[in-house]
């Protein structure tokens, strides 16, 4: 069985005889038996930590869960700085969560959660920070400042949490390079190992934004013919 691993600007082919093996097992075998300079990340080996996320045949996967096929093409995540081979620097992706303020800011002490309340954002709490959705998002090709599904799913988690006393502050934060910049292509959902639908979360954030008095800027510009209601250019 042959696999092709992206190393710097070229692909290196490796022959491995490991039937029914995970990608992480194959990479470990290559590093141990063929090329100890190969670099990749791994942690729990149980699809929990998210540190072994990478791309196989142009799709994001967890190396510890993906079963290798002959001819597979293996690359590091996209939209993220590559440190070496398959190892990436997640700082920029994590920075989007900081900009979007994905944490409980103002605690409502009187809020009492029911079991139904807990279910509303239980799935979003399963995010393992693998960065697969960040890598899969095509918007970053044209807008590097986009908050993206990685952060916006986190925003929905707290906007929908009764314990957050000021959810509108989070809605205000995501109007620029945020909910309206998403194309709703659903690529993020397709690669999430936890089954989280960031597309659905962004749609719900758009609804909350509309309720807060915001509107899609592109729709507003189209509606007024490219000019503001006072007659001045709106672009």
Neighbours of 197 (CB within 10 A): 18
pLDDT value of position 81: 96
* pLDDT digit string (tens) for the chain, length 235 residues: 999 999 998 999 999 999 999 999 999 999 999 999 999 999 999 999 999 999 999 999 999 999 999 999 999 999 999 999 999 999 999 999 999 999 999 999 899 999 999 999 999 999 999 999 999 999 998 999 999 999 999 999 999 999 999 999 999 999 999 999 999 999 999 999 999 999 999 999 999 999 999 999 887 665 555 544 344 444 3
Q: Are 151 and 129 in contact (CB under 8 A)?
A: no
pLDDT value of position 231: 42
User: What percent helix, strand, coil does the chain show, rounded to 5?
Assistant: 35, 15, 50
What six digits make up the tokens of 73? 């093409």
User: Closest Cα to residue 125, out of 98, 102, 106, 148?
Assistant: 102
For tokens 């597979």, what's the residue?
A: 72
Q: Domains, the chain, ranges and CATH?
A: 2-88 (3.10.20.30), 90-219 (1.10.1060.10)
For tokens 């960031």, what's the residue?
A: 198
Neighbours of 194 (CB within 10 A): 14
pLDDT value of position 224: 56
Backbone angles phi, psi at 118, to 5 degrees: -65, -30
Report the DSSP pairing between strands 59-62 and 53-56.
antiparallel
pLDDT value of position 102: 95
């Amino acid at each position: 069985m042959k696999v092709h691993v992206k190393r710097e600007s070229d692909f290196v082919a490796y022959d491995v005889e490991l039937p029914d093996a995970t990608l992480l097992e194959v990479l470990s075998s290559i590093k141990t038996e063929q090329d100890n300079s190969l670099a990749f990340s791994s942690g729990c080996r149980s699809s929990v930590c998210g540190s072994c996320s990478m791309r196989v045949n142009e799709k994001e996967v967890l190396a510890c869960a993906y079963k290798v096929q002959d001819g597979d093409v293996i690359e590091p995540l996209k939209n993220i700085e590559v440190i070496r081979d398959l190892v990436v620097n997640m700082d920029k992706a994590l920075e989007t969560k900081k900009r979007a303020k994905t944490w409980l800011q103002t605690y409502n002490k009187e809020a009492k959660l029911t079991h139904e309340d807990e279910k509303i954002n239980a799935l979003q709490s399963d995010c393992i920070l693998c960065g697969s959705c960040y890598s899969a998002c095509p918007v970053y090709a044209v807008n590097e400042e986009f908050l993206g599904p990685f952060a916006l799913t986190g925003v929905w988690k707290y906007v929908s949490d009764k314990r957050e006393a000021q959810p509108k502050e989070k809605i205000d934060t995501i109007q620029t390079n945020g909910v309206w910049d998403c194309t709703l292509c659903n690529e993020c959902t397709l690669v999430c190992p936890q089954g989280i639908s960031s597309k659905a979360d962004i749609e719900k954030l758009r609804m909350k934004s509309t309720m807060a008095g915001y509107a899609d800027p592109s729709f507003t510009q189209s509606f007024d013919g490219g000019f503001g209601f006072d007659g001045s250019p709106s672009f």
